[in-house]
Structure 1
Amino acid sequence: MKIGIDAMGGDFAPHEVLKGVKDYLQEAGDAAQVVLIGDEEKLNALLAGADLPQASYSVVHAPQVIDMHEHPTKALKEKPQSSIAVGFGALAKGHTDAFISAGNTGAMLVGALYSLKTIEGVLRPTISTIIPKEAGQTGLLLDVGLNSDCKPEQLNQFAIMGSVYAQNILGINKPRVALLNIGEEEGKGNLLAQATYPLLKENKHINFVGNAEGRDIFIDKADVLVCDGFTGNIVLKMAESLFEITERKGIKHEYFDLFNFENYGGTPVLGINKPVIIGHGISKAKAFKNMLALAQKMIEKDIMQKLAAELKP
């Protein structure tokens, strides 16, 4: 098993990437081979003092970097030797089994959509986020930004993908799936919600429990919350701000600590045929360690194959 990681992606790369790799290799019981993708000269200089077991990693040279402000599609075309482009190339050719980056999010999404194949039958891939609940459990919210405008059929597929992920990665038996809406009653909401509800209700692949309101997001009402990416991204950014506010004000509580994104690493792109995990631009060692652990778990659990089985036309 080989996991490719963009060693140059993120505000604190490559130093924090290598720290995260070291922590992952030390803590993982049966760690995967890590393929560091980036400027070979810079990486080798840092690796000389990193104390990493040489058999546990390799370096693939990628002299270019896509900066955070660059236009994703244009940058991928103009920088074919960037760490993101090379990383997707290695994944597409089967040289690695997963790819991770905390670099340009747009470039990661474009790369995932155009460098790899979607799972047969998937209308649109999706991205999700972990939702911490009041009692200490975790749930899943999707989509959170990849698909701002959605069709009911797409939300129906998101529900299946989220359910498979929650069961296999979060360890939730028979995940409860809810549609994020402005009311609990059937028939509530905008045209999208009204048209999606009956599809979810008839979907035999999920355990649908009805509508969930905004006040239900952080309590134990459902394990998988489904919405369009516009709504989901607003919820995601609001949740991130809660953690930032508590940090600034020195408010200490174990529940608010659950909002720290580094605990979960990054978000996978669901609906494509190979594991791709996108990290936050400000990721540090803990986040990179957890992204590597998540990638390994996705490979070991055959998540893409299980998604394909559930989504088979």
Structure 2
Amino acid sequence: MMVIGLDMMGGDFAPREAVNGVKLFLDKHPSPAVHLALIGDQAQVQPLLDEAGIDASRYRLIHAPEVIGMHEHPTKALKEKIRSSINTGLHLLKEGKIQAFISAGNTGAVMVGALYSIKSMPGIQRPTISTLVPREDGSTGLLLDVGVNADCKPEHLVQFAILGTLYAKNILKVADPGVGLLNIGEEEGKGNLLSQSAYPLLRDNNKIRFVGNIEGRDLFSRKADVIVCDGFTGNIVLKMAESVYDIMNRRQIRDEYFELFNYEYYGGTPVLGVNEPVIIGHGISKGSTFEKMISLAGEVLETRLLDKFRENFTPAKD
């Protein structure tokens, strides 16, 4: 049985939308193969669980009375709020009492807590997070890093490419993912020092299929399945794409393709490169988003994705 932990207090609409997500997931998955560890303030969460009529045999509520706010300093909050839902969830994950942890709370606190508690995999220099890229033909690409690593070295981009390739194969079911380097031109030698230095490393790595440089106009095409860049660039791309969706909504423009830019369509994103599965969700996640995050955590466990990561990275020698 898989035991998946969920931060019930994370997000702007917690805990009600987290409870809605739990109900959606359990209704869709009546088999008891997944047991949920719900982490949050018992006084707030239990009445909502009872109101939703959720089968008590499918979950365990773990009391965590403190909440790390969305705008609190991550390191300071983790130190001061030992009994927060984020701290409690990561501790349970470290102790092996849950097999995955999900939070739509303070992203910085989740990342810092994960790095300090469950730590990076041996051989991984920089864990990363990605975003799914909706492509015009209906398929899905992957962009990474999108904000964790604002400054990168060339070898970091190579590791992102390997992690992204394995994620695309196992989760997105892309048989032979092509990897592109986000750049300002197609030709080798284009770009800043990071791009110029990363290109030959990506080209010569036998664990990926490198297809060359990818320009901004190629992001939503099938030119590459996995696109790598530093987190500064990736976060700008992500926020710009989110703003396009928001503008279209405000202008009441409805288009089937652009509906795929809605973050709720995908759920959360895993932290790639840490020792245990951690899924991070958007702060304004609703019930359907939480349901997708729980499903994604289950898929990461079922595919043994982290074991495949470990097989592809050699621990650094002292």
User: What range describes the TM-score normalised by the shorter chain of this pair?
Assistant: over 0.9
Residue matched to 2:269: 267
Aligned partners of 1:42, 1:238: CA distance in 2, in Å?
36
Indicate which of 112, 120, 137 corresponds to 2:122. 120
Quote the offset at 1:273 in angstroms.
Answer: 1.0
Give 1:19's aligned amino acid: N
If the length of structure 2 is used for normalisation, what is the TM-score? Answer: 0.97
Per-residue CA deviation, residues 204-254 of structure 1 (Å, 9 max, x unaligned), is 000110000000001111100000000000000001011111111111111
Give 1:166's aligned amino acid: A
Aligned partners of 2:292, 2:136: CA distance in 1, in Å?
22
Q: Secondary structure at the match of 2:181?
A: strand
Alpha-carbon RMSD: 0.9
Residue matched to 1:297: 299
Percent of aligned pairs with the same amino acid: 60
Greater mean deviation of Cα atoms: 20-29 or 235-244: 20-29
Quote the offset at 1:45 in angstroms.
Answer: 1.5
Aligned partners of 1:28, 1:141: CA distance in 2, in Å?
30
Residue matched to 1:134: 136
Q: Secondary structure at the match of 2:285?
A: coil
Structure 2 gap segments, 5+ residues each: none
Aligned partners of 1:28, 1:172: CA distance in 2, in Å?
25
Quote the offset at 1:312 in angstroms.
Answer: 2.8
Quote the offset at 1:29 in angstroms.
Answer: 6.0
Aligned partners of 2:157, 2:119: CA distance in 1, in Å?
20
Quote the offset at 1:80 in angstroms.
Answer: 0.2
Per-residue CA deviation, residues 174-203 of structure 1 (Å, 9 max, x unaligned), is 101000000001111100000000000011
Q: Secondary structure at the match of 1:60?
A: strand
Quote the offset at 1:43 in angstroms.
Answer: 1.3
Matched, 1:25 2:35: no
Residue matched to 1:185: 187
Aligned partners of 1:133, 1:22: CA distance in 2, in Å?
31
Q: Secondary structure at the match of 2:51?
A: coil
Q: Secondary structure at the match of 1:274?
A: coil
Aligned partners of 2:192, 2:120: CA distance in 1, in Å?
29
Aligned length: 313
Quote the offset at 1:310 in angstroms.
Answer: 1.4
Aligned partners of 1:135, 1:308: CA distance in 2, in Å?
33
Residue matched to 1:15: 16
Q: Secondary structure at the match of 2:124?
A: coil
Residue matched to 2:245: 243
Residue matched to 2:84: 82
State whether residues 160 and 311 of structure 1, in contact with CA within 8 Å, keep that contact through their aligned partners in structure 2: no
Matched, 1:66 2:68: yes
Give 1:262's aligned amino acid: E
Q: Secondary structure at the match of 2:207?
A: coil
Residue matched to 2:166: 164
Residue matched to 1:258: 260
Quote the offset at 1:117 in angstroms.
Answer: 2.3
Quote the offset at 1:311 in angstroms.
Answer: 1.7
If the length of structure 1 is used for normalisation, what is the TM-score? Answer: 0.98
Quote the offset at 1:266 in angstroms.
Answer: 0.8
Aligned partners of 1:170, 1:28: CA distance in 2, in Å?
21
Aligned partners of 1:47, 1:160: CA distance in 2, in Å?
41
Quote the offset at 1:115 in angstroms.
Answer: 1.0
Aligned partners of 1:137, 1:271: CA distance in 2, in Å?
25
Indicate which of 87, 95, 98 corresponds to 2:97. 95
Structure 1 gap segments, 5+ residues each: none
Aligned partners of 1:292, 1:302: CA distance in 2, in Å?
16
Q: Secondary structure at the match of 1:103?
A: coil
Give 1:206's aligned amino acid: I
Per-residue CA deviation, residues 118-168 of structure 1 (Å, 9 max, x unaligned), is 111001100000000011110000000000000001100000000000110
State whether residues 21 and 288 of structure 1, in contact with CA within 8 Å, keep that contact through their aligned partners in structure 2: yes
State whether residues 6 and 100 of structure 1, in contact with CA within 8 Å, keep that contact through their aligned partners in structure 2: yes
Residue matched to 2:283: 281
Quote the offset at 1:50 in angstroms.
Answer: 1.3
Aligned partners of 1:132, 1:9: CA distance in 2, in Å?
26
Aligned partners of 2:293, 2:179: CA distance in 1, in Å?
25
Per-residue CA deviation, residues 11-43 of structure 1 (Å, 9 max, x unaligned), is 000000000011011113645111100011211
State whether residues 144 and 228 of structure 1, in contact with CA within 8 Å, keep that contact through their aligned partners in structure 2: yes
State whether residues 28 and 293 of structure 1, in contact with CA within 8 Å, keep that contact through their aligned partners in structure 2: no
Per-residue CA deviation, residues 27-86 of structure 1 (Å, 9 max, x unaligned), is 136451111000112111112211111111110010000011110000000000000000
Quote the offset at 1:256 in angstroms.
Answer: 0.5
